[in-house]
């Protein structure tokens, strides 16, 4: 993979889980095996937008059976003979190489992917990315000159990786129990996002916007608001160190 690759450090490592299920965007070049009029290409990309069925490629991490994925947008940016520069926004787990292959079949001419870069991974965009070289320079500046300015531009708080998730904010007195792995109960809830569904992965935050843990909800937003006692969400992964709120 080339392009946007978020990497989590040290205690934040497991936060990448939130990105596995997040939407992605790619920019790529597909090569058609014959010339095709522009209108036909434009029409075909529309056929591959919305819900599509895709058979995962032979070399893939998942079971090889037809599965539905959603393509949020699929745009032709430029056409140069048989080469098409495109941009596609899609659900996690959509195979772009396969999408291009299927696209070629649909046009009855064949096509393959020539180049592909990931331009978005959930809340991370290639526009705001840095090279490993940038990171190394910033780290050297910090280590040698004790100047942390550049490093602070490149290393972001792990909370950035939860930007796309719905959130529940809890009171100070609920924080430490969560850090010890307890589930979240109604009295601890202070604020919530309004669009939470049941069985959804949410980020549980302090009132200072620190990530405490990821949890799976038992109820939707409306029912969470109405509930005075009982289980709200099951704690899945804890990120905050224990005994910070004691």
Partner 1 sequence: MEDLLPFEKVKKETIVKRQAETNPDFGCKPEERPVEQLIKYGVVNINKPSGPT
Interface with partner 1 in residues 1-30 (CB under 8 A): 1-12, 15, 22-25
**Binding map of partner 1 across residues 30-59, x = CB under 8 A, - = no contact:** ------------------------------
Residue whose CB is less far from partner 1, 11 or 38? 11
Residue 26: exposure state from Cβ atoms within 10 A (0-12, 13-18, ≥19)? buried
Q: How far is the CB of 92 from partner 1 (least distance, A)?
A: 10
Interface with partner 1 in residues 66-105 (CB under 8 A): 72-73, 75, 87, 89
b/e map 114-132, b = 16+ CB within 10 Å:
eebebbbbbbbebeebeee
Gap between the Cα atoms of 226 and 243, Å rounded = 30
Which residue in the set 50, 57, 110, 157 belongs to the binding site for partner 1 (CB under 8 A)? 157
**Binding map of partner 1 across residues 196-235, x = CB under 8 A, - = no contact:** ----------xxxxxx---------x--xx----------
Structure tokens of 85?
């520069």
Q: Is 246 near partner 1 (CB under 8 A)?
A: yes
Residue 161: exposure state from Cβ atoms within 10 A (0-12, 13-18, ≥19)? buried
Gap between the Cα atoms of 115 and 30, Å rounded = 7
Residue whose CB is less far from partner 1, 55 or 201? 201
Residue of 160, 132, 191, 125 lying closest to 15 (CA atoms): 160
Interface with partner 1 in residues 162-191 (CB under 8 A): 164, 166, 171-172, 175, 189-191
Structure tokens of 127?
């526009």
Interface with partner 1 in residues 114-143 (CB under 8 A): 120, 122-126, 128-132, 135, 142
Residue whose CB is less far from partner 1, 166 or 182? 166
């Amino acid at each position: 993979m080339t392009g946007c690759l978020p990497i989590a450090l040290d205690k934040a490592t497991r936060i990448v889980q939130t990105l596995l299920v997040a939407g992605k965007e790619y920019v790529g070049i597909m090569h058609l095996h014959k010339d095709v009029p522009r209108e036909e290409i434009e029409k075909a990309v529309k056929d591959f937008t919305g819900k599509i069925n895709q058979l995962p490629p032979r070399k893939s991490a998942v079971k090889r059976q037809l599965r539905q994925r959603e393509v949020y947008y699929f745009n032709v940016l430029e056409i140069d003979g048989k080469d098409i520069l495109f941009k596609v926004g899609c659900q996690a787990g959509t195979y772009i190489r396969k999408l291009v292959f299927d696209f070629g079949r649909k046009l009855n001419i064949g096509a393959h992917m020539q180049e592909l870069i990931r331009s978005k991974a959930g809340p991370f965009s290639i526009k705001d990315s840095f090279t490993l070289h940038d990171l190394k320079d910033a780290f050297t500046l910090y280590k040698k000159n004790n100047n942390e300015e550049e490093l602070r531009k490149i290393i972001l708080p792990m909370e950035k990786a939860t930007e796309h998730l719905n959130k529940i904010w809890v009171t100070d007195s609920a924080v430490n129990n969560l850090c010890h792995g307890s589930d979240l109960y109604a009295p601890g809830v202070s604020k919530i996002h309004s669009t939470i569904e049941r069985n959804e992965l949410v980020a549980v935050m302090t009132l200072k916007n620190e990530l405490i843990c990821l949890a799976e909800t038992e109820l939707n937003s409306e029912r969470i608001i109405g509930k005075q006692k009982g289980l709200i969400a099951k704690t899945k992964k804890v990120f905050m160190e224990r005994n910070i709120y004691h």
